[in-house]
Every structure is written in structure tokens, then in C-alpha cells.
């Protein structure tokens, strides 16, 4: 099974919450084939923005969002 990871981030409303200030400004760093590469990308962005306490970057485990054993939705079956 392929284990894809999405690295993304942006400015938060408050450093104590995980709510983005402006969803349109979310920075998509990229999708990576393994956690190690995703971590390296996350770390680079986190270090680049370390002076802004409101900036946060996250790693989303895309492979956890899809269970191959669950039937596809009708929309997915149509390729939409």
C-alpha cells in the first residue's frame, strides 16, 4: 500500500488553535511518498516561518483517509 503524506500550513487565528486565518491562503507544500520526505518538507517550512508564532505547518496522512476495503461512493465511481 502506498503511504502518501500531504504537507500544508498557513497563518492561524491564534497560536493556541488550529484554525486558519484565511483558508484561501493555505500553503500546500506538497504530497510525499513517505513520512521521512514529508517530515523533511514540514521541518523546512516550519524553520522558514519560525519567527511568526501564528504560522503552523502540518503533515496529513492521506493513506489514512481511504480504506481500500470500503466500497467507493457513487460520485467516485463516476470519476468525478
- E-assigned strand segments in 1-80: 5-11, 27-32, 55-61
CATH code for the structural domain at 5-77: 3.30.70.2400
The ranges assigned to domains in the chain are 5-77
pLDDT digits (tens, 9 = 90+) for 9-23: 999 999 999 999 999
* Sequence-separated (6 or more) residues with CB below 8 Å from residue 32: 4, 5, 6, 7, 38, 41
Buried b (16+ CB within 10 A) or exposed e, 23-37: eeeeeebeebeeeee
Give the global pTM.
Answer: 0.78
- Per-residue cell: 18: 488550529
pLDDT digits (tens, 9 = 90+) for 51-65: 999 999 999 998 887
Amino acid at each position: 500500500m502506498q503511504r502518501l503524506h500531504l504537507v500544508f500550513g498557513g497563518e492561524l487565528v491564534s497560536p493556541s488553535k488550529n484554525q486558519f486565518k484565511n483558508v484561501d491562503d493555505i500553503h500546500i507544500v506538497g504530497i510525499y511518498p513517505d513520512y521521512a520526505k514529508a517530515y523533511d518538507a514540514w521541518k523546512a517550512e516550519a524553520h522558514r516561518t519560525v519567527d511568526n508564532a501564528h504560522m503552523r505547518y502540518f503533515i496529513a496522512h492521506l493513506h489514512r483517509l481511504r480504506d481500500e476495503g470500503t466500497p467507493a461512493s457513487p460520485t467516485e465511481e463516476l470519476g468525478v
